[in-house]
Amino acid sequence: MDQNSLKQLVADAALKYVPEGEIIGVGTGSTANFFIDGLAGMRDRIKGAVASSEASAARLLAHGIPLFDLNDVESLPVYVDGADEVDAGFAMIKGGGAALTREKIVAAVARKFVCIADGSKKVAVLGKFPLPVEVIPLARAQVSRALAALGGRPVWREGVLTDNGNIILDVHDLAIAEPVRLEAEINQIVGVVTNGLFARRPADILLLGTAGGVLTFERN
Ligand code: 5RP
């Protein structure tokens, strides 16, 4: 089975976590896109969605799924999104699609985070996938020096601006033994908007697509 088929498999499996009559949080990326397409089949049974990016908002709207502003929603029963890496504690690296800040904000409002990923995303130690960091453009050089001081090798994702008008630095060569600590430490650097470590608020449920089917893991 190819990677896209595995993404489709987990996206379909996530539909059963969508409660009827509610507003749900929807992530960004190719796996989330499969989920959005599946959600279209049950659009009359949900109230609507909060999107974590302009791209996902456009896809939801194209399917006729009502969009809500997060400011008008107090809490979401569930947030469904992909990941670039996920470890045994359900901490993740996200932001390959540059949507990490809005993803983190929407996830913070959700009571349950369902991570949907193909099996290649499961790792023992986070950091092989370069860690995306959203940065205010003016602070690019200064933040790069601070990230290098932490032992990483930041590379500017040139030509990419986030939905918030900021830039992305991808930090290579990190072996992230303590994701909760590093997430907080990077967020303390002046000029950083947020980083792609989702460790303080990890996933609650992990649906992993494998050749043998969907594996479901729940965080204790
Ligand atoms: C976007 C993300 C995505 O969830 C992550 O990059 C995974 O993407 P894909 O489902 O395309 O593999 O964090 O910012």
In this prediction, residues 119-138 reach a mean pLDDT of 97
Work out the burial of residue 84: count CB atoms within 10 Å of its CB; fewer than 13 is exposed, 13-18 middle, 19 or more buried.
Answer: buried
Indicate the angle between helix axes 30-40 and 3-14, nearest 10 degrees. 50
User: For ligand 1, what atom is nearest to the CA of residue 196?
Assistant: 13
- Establish whether residue 99 lines the binding site of ligand 1, counting it when its CB lies within 6 angstroms of any ligand atom: yes
How does residue 175 score in pLDDT terms, banded at 50, 70 and 90? Answer: confident
Is the pLDDT at 1 greater than 90, yes or no?
no
For the annotated catalytic residues, the residue numbers are: 103
CB crowding 171-198: b at 16 or more within 10 Å, else e: beebebeebeebbeebeebebbbbbbbb
Residue 149: Cβ within 10 Å count:
9
> pLDDT (tens digit, 9 = 90+) per residue, 40-66?
999 999 999 999 999 999 999 999 999
Residue nearest to atom 8 of ligand 1 (CA): 29
Contacts with 25 (C-beta within 8 Å, 6 or more apart), sequence order: 49, 50, 52, 76, 78, 79, 80, 81, 106, 107, 109, 110
Residue nearest to atom 6 of ligand 1 (CA): 96
Least confident stretch, 93-97, 133-137, 171-175, 201-205 = 171-175
- Establish whether residue 29 lines the binding site of ligand 1, counting it when its CB lies within 6 angstroms of any ligand atom: yes
Residue nearest to atom 4 of ligand 1 (CA): 82
The HSE-up count of residue 121 (CA atoms within 13 Å, CB side) is 28
79 C-alpha to ligand 1 centroid (Å): 14
96 C-alpha to ligand 1 centroid (Å): 5
Residue 112: Cβ within 10 Å count:
17
> pLDDT (tens digit, 9 = 90+) per residue, 99-118?
999 999 999 999 999 999 99
- pTM for the predicted model, two decimal places: 0.97
